[in-house]
A and B are shown apart, each in its own frame.
Chain A
Amino acid sequence: DAGITQSPRYKITETGRQVTLMCHQTWSHSYMFWYRQDLGHGLRLIYYSAAADITDKGEVPDGYVVSRSKTENFPLTLESATRSQTSVYFCASSRDRDEKLFFGSGTQLSVL
C-alpha cells in the first residue's frame, strides 16, 4: 500500500529555472492538494483539484502551475523559480470533499 508519494525528496535549483514537483497517490482519491509550509506561516494552500482536469487556486497560487490529466498524479510546476519559493511542499489527497486529508512526506525545495 504505497499511499501518497512525492518526488524528489530534496531539490536545489536556481532562480529563473523551471521546477516540477511530483505527487502520486494509489488510493484513487478524487481530491488532491498542494500546500507549502514555511516558518511563521504554517501550511498554506497553493492549488487543489477535485478530479482529473479540474483544478482551482488556493491561498497562494502565484508563480505555480498545476495539472491533473490522471486521477493519481498531481504535479506542481514552478515556471520561473524565485527565492521566495524556497519552502517545504506537501501534497495531500482525500477521498471526498468532506474527508480527512492524507499527506505525503514532502519535498524540500531550495531556490538559490
Chain B
Amino acid sequence: GESVGLHLPTLSVQEGDNSIINCAYSNSASDYFIWYKQESGKGPQFIIDIRSNMDKRQGQRVTVLLNKTVKHLSLQIAATQPGDSAVYFCALKGGTALIFGKGTTLSVSS
C-alpha cells in the first residue's frame, strides 16, 4: 500500500530564515498532494496543494515542489515567522481518503 514518510521529525530555524520541509512517498500512482499545518490543540489546516501534472506551485510565502521521478515532495516557507511554529504534515490521495505522513515539528526562534 501507500506510505508517506518525512525526512526529519523536527526542524529548528531562526526568524526570517527560509524553511524547507521534505516528504517522500512510495506510490507512483498518487496524483494529488497536500500540505497541512497543525497548531497545538487544533485540527490540521490546509496550506497548499499540488496535482501530479505540476512540479511547482506557489502561495503566500509558501511553495510546494513535486518531484515525481524520485517521489519527493517539499514545502518551502519564506521568511519564517514565529507564527509558523507548528507540526507540518504532507498527505497524498490514496484512493478516496488522504494518507498522512507523521509530521515535522517546525520551531521558529526569534
Dominant secondary structure at the A interface: strand
Chain B residues with Cβ below 8 Å from A33 are 97-98
Q: What residues of A have a CB within 8 angstroms of the CB of B41 in the complex?
A: 106
Instruction: Name the A residues within 8 Å of B98 (CB-CB).
Output: 33, 45, 101
The answer for the CA separation of A82 and B38 in the assembled complex, in Å, is: 27
Among A41, A45, A104, contact of B97 (Cβ-Cβ < 8 Å): A45
The residues of B with any CB-CB pair to A shorter than 8 Å are 31-32, 34, 36, 41-46, 49, 89, 93, 96-103
Contact status B102-A50, CB under 8 Å: no
In the complex, chain B residues whose CB is within 8 Å of the CB of A80: none
A43 beta carbon closer than 8 Å to chain B: yes
Query: Measuring CB to CB, which residues of chain A are less than 8 angstroms from any residue of chain B?
Result: 31, 33, 35, 40-45, 48, 50, 56, 58, 90, 92, 97-98, 100-106
Of the candidates B34, B43, B45, B97, which one forms a contact with A58 in the assembled complex, judged by CB atoms under 8 Å apart?
B97
For A100, give its contact among B31, B46, B99, B101 (CB under 8 Å): B46
A50 to B95, CA, bound (A): 12
